Amino acid sequence: MSPSGCQLLLAALLAAPLFCVPVFAAKARKPEAKAEPTLRHQGDVTDVRVVHRVEQHPDAWRVWQPFIIAGEKKRQLLVAFGAMTNGKKDMGAILATLSTDDGDTWGEPVYVFNHHVRQGAIQFAYANPVLYRAPGQDVVWCFAMRCPIAYDNSEESQLVGAFTADGGRSWTPVELAMHYTGPLITNAGIVESVIEGQKRFLLPAHRNTLAADPRGSRDHFVLSSTSLLEWKLEAFIPQPTNARVFLHEGNIAAGEAAGELKMVMRTADYDDTNKTTNPPRAYSSVSRDGGHTWSTAVPEPDLYNAKSKGFFGRAENGTHLYVYNDGPAGRQPGGRTALRYKTKPPGGAWSAEQTFFDAGIKNSYPTLIEVAPGDFRAVWDSGTADTPRTHIQFGKLKLKP
């Protein structure tokens, strides 16, 4: 029987040289993934890494307001940040991510507060995480704001809390006992203090009820707690006597004198928040009784602020650190491009302005933590030359001796 056409074709293929094997029989090779290029920048921050990008969240259009603390073990760092849900101005979900190699790489973020999950019949959105580990405790707390997701913005929020007992890999929400019942906006870290012989945790916050209510107000205040579960209003920051200022987003740190606390605040014009103070200045207030009462807010002549969050803290050696946006030489007040910083040794004066990070792109909302004497880890939200808050960035800063 003569061979069929199929048999003849098969015999020809088997007899053909190796180089004649048809290309459709070869397995396609997957191209190797390319490493993300390092962003060129000016400034004293080193080891800059991207923690998270907005493209990793299909239901968000911005990522913003990160907060960093040290983790359970050496070289561990924990960062919480917000993912701004589509269609909202300043609220969405709060997530946390863990680094086990001192910020070189970051794990997949997990939800701390998930705006997709309803609380009964209400769907909330969240903003402005604040991380805190109380001395002697193994758990880490995350405090934030929540308000009904139907609201236009988050300025009518209440305080909400959650904790992690496994280093940030999972979170348990907790309903807080609140004796302060008004709206609030969180921003800066918790500090420990003693008021009338009792240990207190102090949380700075502010409110902006004037934005939606002509009889509202713009006030900075301090909440206090003995347990981190129950919170009350401890004090208001007195307004300047000559002209009111929109005092907000203040950071509390130890002051110059023993037992003194100092708060440095972001500012804007009280009646028109699109305007800076004239000239653009941060304001400060001091407490000498553990945070129970505070002095009248006064301008800090050496500390620039143009309607953007700054960071104020004190290193272990007593040096104060202030990180802020733009500076007097910035392209425009409130432009939120470069980050600058100043330092102040104990009993000394503020240094000249130094560059923290400048890459010709938008940057804002820095938060720092000291992991060793003079050695800080920092996070901030960053963007492109035209678009803010496209990614969260991390870097390291060593204070100069």
- For residues 37 and 291, the model is more confident at 291
pLDDT tens for 274-330 read: 999 999 999 999 999 999 999 999 999 999 999 999 999 999 999 999 999 987 766
Please give the mean pLDDT across all residues of the chain. Answer: 89
pLDDT at position 85 is 95
- Taking only the tens place, the pLDDT of each residue in 115-128 is 999 988 999 999 99
Q: Give pLDDT tens digits for 322-353.
A: 999 987 766 666 679 999 999 999 999 999 99
**What pLDDT, in 10s, does the model give residues 54-74?**
999 889 999 999 999 999 889
Residue 36 has pLDDT above 70, yes or no: no
Say what the pLDDT of residue 6 is: 42
Q: Which tokens sit at 24?
A: 């459709």
Closest CA to 312 of 191, 137, 188, 194: 188
Where are the strands (E) in 274-362, listed by range?
283-287, 298-299, 311-314, 320-325, 339-344, 354-357
H-helix segments, 254-398: none
> Please, what's the largest Cα pairwise distance for the chain?
113
Task: Tell me the mean pLDDT in the region 197-225.
Answer: 95
pLDDT score of 19 more than 60: no
Q: Model-level pTM? A: 0.89
Pick the more confident residue, 210 or 26.
210
- Hey, what CATH topology would domain 38-398 get? Neuraminidase (2.120.10)
| Interval 18-24 mean pLDDT | 33
**In the chain, what are the helix, strand and coil shares in percent, each to the nearest 5?**
5, 45, 50
Backbone angles phi and psi of 8, in degrees to 5: -65, -40
**What does the pLDDT read at residue 332?**
65
Domain assignments of the chain as residue spans, ordered by start: 38-398
